[in-house]
């Protein structure tokens, strides 16, 4: 397994792959790898001859310096996990390598970045769009694999690639979960005890919304109320947002739900060490079935 630290060296690897007729895939990560990341690696392997993983905690997508400082960094364990999974190449750039002195060139996907996490974390998706573009330029893959847990991020990346005409296929994989249903996240390590138990309110909110739809409810506000009530049952959870949106455009869902609808959630819970909060996100595309009237 190669460990590459510079853009120039990674581009040289990409050139060699193309000359040899090898199809390459990239899995962008911020490290602290878990089973969800490894599922992305496995999908990349199914789609390509060469699998590269990038590990870079991107400072440009953090709106709070404390959150950046607290983000788990486990490089040795991450490299071992990549090696065990058969990853061919790991890109581990420094901050200066991706953001050289005087850096001032930013990319922004304007409309998709506004709601949900974009409203709560100003500048977050500008940082995401910029670093993903830089990683794609550096690795030059034919395919890049992302998780659907970060649904808005995936939408932003797809729009970025489409708008700029980048020659890469973007693949999104379903959320990988813990045995009790909690979405796998590198941030979960900061939860313990009662806060970890109450984090399941997000899973409960998804189930409550689906249950409301299954019972025949089609009013947007009523379905949303069911989700919010599930989160309200967890007193340690501070709701950031619970919204119903169009899964393609992220526009607000209509008052009467009539088609696939994204339920997007974000909530904050106390860190185990008492130093602030852990922000968790989850989502599900709810399938709204049309009811047939007049049938026995």
Catalytically active residues are 37
- Longest alpha-carbon distance in the chain: 71
Q: What are phi and psi of 252, to 5 degrees?
A: -55, 140
Which pair of structure tokens corresponds to residue 59? Answer: 């400072």
d(CA 72, CA 51): 24
Partners of 145 in beta bridges: 171
Q: Which of 141, 143, 150 is nearest to 183 (CA)?
A: 150
Angle at 53 between CA 189 and CA 192, to 5 degrees: 5
Residue 217 neighbours by CB under 8 Å, 6+ apart = 223, 226
CB 30, CB 116: distance < 8 Å: no
d(CA 120, CA 35): 27
Which pair of structure tokens corresponds to residue 58? Answer: 């991107």
Helix H or strand E segment including 210: helix 201-214
């Amino acid at each position: 397994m190669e460990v590459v630290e510079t853009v120039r060296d990674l581009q040289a690897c990409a050139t060699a792959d193309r000359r040899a007729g090898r199809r390459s895939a990239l899995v962008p990560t911020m490290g602290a790898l878990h089973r969800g990341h490894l599922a992305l690696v496995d999908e990349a392997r199914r789609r390509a001859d060469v699998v590269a993983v990038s590990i870079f905690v991107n400072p440009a997508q953090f709106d709070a310096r404390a959150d950046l400082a607290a983000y788990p960094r486990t490089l040795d364990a991450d490299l071992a996990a990549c090696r065990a999974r058969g990853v061919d190449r790991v890109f581990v750039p420094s901050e200066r390598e991706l953001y050289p002195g005087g850096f001032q060139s930013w990319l922004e996907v304007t409309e998709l970045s506004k709601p949900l996490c974009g409203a709560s974390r100003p500048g977050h998706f500008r940082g995401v769009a910029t670093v993903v573009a830089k990683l794609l330029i550096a690795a030059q893959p034919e395919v890049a694999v992302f998780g659907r847990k970060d649904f808005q991020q995936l939408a932003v990346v797809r729009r970025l690639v489409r708008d700029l005409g980048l020659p890469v296929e973007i693949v999104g994989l379903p959320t990988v979960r813990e045995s009790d249903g909690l979405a796998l996240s590198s941030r979960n390590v900061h939860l313990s005890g009662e806060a970890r138990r109450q984090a399941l309110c997000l899973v409960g909110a998804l189930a409550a919304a689906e249950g409301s739809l299954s019972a025949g409810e089609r009013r947007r506000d009523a379905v949303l109320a069911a989700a919010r009530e599930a989160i309200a049952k967890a007193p340690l959870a501070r709701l950031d947002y619970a919204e119903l949106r169009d899964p393609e455009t992220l526009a607000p869902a209509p008052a009467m739900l009539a088609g696939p609808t994204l339920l997007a959630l974000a909530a904050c819970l106390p860190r185990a060490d008492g130093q602030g909060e852990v922000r968790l996100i989850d989502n599900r595309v709810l399938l709204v079935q049309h009811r047939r009237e007049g049938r026995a």
